[in-house]
Structure 1
């Protein structure tokens, strides 16, 4: 028989789903160490309190990405069948984390803890989850504005959350815009580097309008005879990356020293990836671009002196993509529409 109702108890709500904070921090530290060597190195530069919160947030981002793509720690994509159901699961687990209910997944429990400690909101989390939804729907950008929206969801929105974790007030729009710029810069470097890997997974984040301008047939951009056009489009991505990178440095100048150092180190490492892809030209995708350990340490050292001097060069032009405009578009456009279905054979 079921237990009498008088002895049933509801699950108490508590940040972290009832797990010990120390255990969640240890788990999150291991997650970042295995999931992103570059970001793990940069995160070591934060003060201890900020570092732990950054790890807790990263663990959720990493786990959501792995669940959405059926992969492990950012490895090879798994079977994409059922991706939309996995995104639904991410939303449900994230909501339980906000409620302080146990999720049976330490990454989501970690997120519930850091969300409570730092005041992260459901809207912030949903902006990130919408990026996973775009990929689950097989979405591809038609225009540069579409590319901006994608980069916002998968990286800019994460930058906003990271800024709040670092102590930036939620109503400081200028600083949140600069954090978003850093996310844009990171994602543009990733897109440029991973064009070949994405193509093998039947994904392409180059705007269709760009491909049409270069007279490239759909799905043919990685063919050898299009390498020069691809290199030209990549240079276009990196020019935009550098604009957002410059504005992100303006925001970093207002952060406490340790946070400023960490942000500048990450910016230098990811910026180096993007510039290396550009500089390799048509050979950029012969081998995956990586930044070795010694080069990373040089960037960390250079970032230290840049953080000490703390006099970023004034950007020569506006970043172009504006977080406010993107958010207005996101809020007004409603649910993301799936791609059009191919016509049925006659």
Structure 2
């Protein structure tokens, strides 16, 4: 991966359907920064998963960590004055460099993330295993809780009380990943389920039970994360609510399948995901208590105006999503008609719904901008 010419948004869209959808709801002031952070985190993860050997993986992680130290020193010396790519040893560091130089994230959290990837290598090498729940949560903090912390920092959250909620969301998502990817991890010789040394040697019932327990751990942390949405800027809450709902639905889909993770990777059906995203986007779209501030100053007026625009954008986006869903349903009816009298009528309805969906989406984008 060449970060110097690869677009961070393309990395996001290619690697995560859930995060890609959620990122569309972010305000422009943070969207690019979030995609840059995601692209760098993906590169750190790929350094382990796609390396030719453990030695190559450790060397790549070393280069990434050395770049973090270099950028920290550079910020102390010159601040956010630009840097080119002189001195950077890994191309992916170009994504995180602007965030570090601008003071948007705490470098210690990025270092902790790399430490989490080193844990993967220790698991691969048989030097460390996850035997207890506490060890699993410790790993998840490093692998994803750190990402939650950096995300809130990018959004401008400075309240220390928000930290536990940010970590909870990252950990919940990582637990969901672990539950979903049991089979893929087994193919790499890894197992993150406490008490199960090897999936290949474990019984189906014990695997399902461990996955169920992991999803319950995730659910409790999703609830903690929901309670912390109030710490986020108003214009960022919708995106995080959507990301939370989309990822949480993966766990619920696993539950519907009785935690049968060995049958293959679980994917949420597109129509259901669209419904979940739509509901999450509408939920809290009209936070009147948040925008009706009696103190009238330039800041509150600006925030109120922004909130009203966000509400209008949410309404039109919801209408657009609903119309897209209607389009899909009409197409399904056309392809599987219950009566000959339907003829091409469902197709006409589908066309009309699609036109409205596109128009409503453009109106939503206009209000967002």
Instruction: Pick the TM interval, shorter chain.
Output: 0.7 to 0.9
Residue 55 (structure 1) aligns with: 35
Contact 1:118 1:165 in 2 (8 A): no
Residue 206 (structure 2) aligns with: 229
The CA deviation at 1:286 is 0.6
1:27 partnered with 2:7? yes
The CA deviation at 1:106 is 4.8
Contact 1:175 1:251 in 2 (8 A): yes
Give 3-state SS (helix, strand or coil) of 1:82's partner.
helix
Within 5 Å, which residues of 2 pair with 1:274-313?
A: 274-281=251-258, 283-308=260-285
The CA deviation at 1:271 is 0.6
Residue 45 (structure 1) aligns with: 25
Within 5 Å, which residues of 2 pair with 1:1-346?
A: 27-70=7-50, 78-98=52-72, 99=74, 100=83, 102=86, 103=88, 105-138=90-123, 139-169=128-158, 172-208=159-195, 211=196, 218-219=197-198, 221-223=199-201, 226-281=203-258, 283-308=260-285
The CA deviation at 1:306 is 1.6
Contact 1:234 1:278 in 2 (8 A): no
Considering fraction of residues, name the structure with more helix: 2
The CA deviation at 1:268 is 0.8
TM-score, scaled to structure 2? 0.68
Residue 16 (structure 1) aligns with: none
- Greater C-alpha radius of gyration: 2
Per-residue CA deviation, residues 179-199 of structure 1 (Å, 9 max, x unaligned), is 110001101100101111111
What is the CA–CA distance in structure 2 between the aligned matches of 1:257 and 1:281, rounded to whole Å? 37
How many residues get paired? Answer: 271
Q: CA RMSD in A?
A: 2.3
Per-residue CA deviation, residues 64-110 of structure 1 (Å, 9 max, x unaligned), is 11123226xxxxxx544432222212212233344345326553112
Q: Kindly tell me: are residues 275 and 60 of structure 1, through their superposed partners in 2, closer, same or farther at Cα, counting changes over 3 Å? A: same
The CA deviation at 1:32 is 1.0
Contact 1:127 1:153 in 2 (8 A): yes
Give 3-state SS (helix, strand or coil) of 2:276's partner.
helix
In structure 1, runs of 5+ residues without a counterpart are 1-18, 72-77, 212-217, 312-346
- Residues 233-242 or 284-293, more deviating: 284-293
Greater relative contact order: 1 or 2 (C-alpha under 8 angstroms, separation 6 or more)? 1
Per-residue CA deviation, residues 25-53 of structure 1 (Å, 9 max, x unaligned), is x8211221122222111111000111111
TM-score, scaled to structure 1? 0.72
The CA deviation at 1:130 is 0.5
In structure 2, runs of 5+ residues without a counterpart are 75-82, 289-369
Q: Kindly tell me: are residues 159 and 88 of structure 1, through their superposed partners in 2, closer, same or farther at Cα, counting changes over 3 Å? A: same
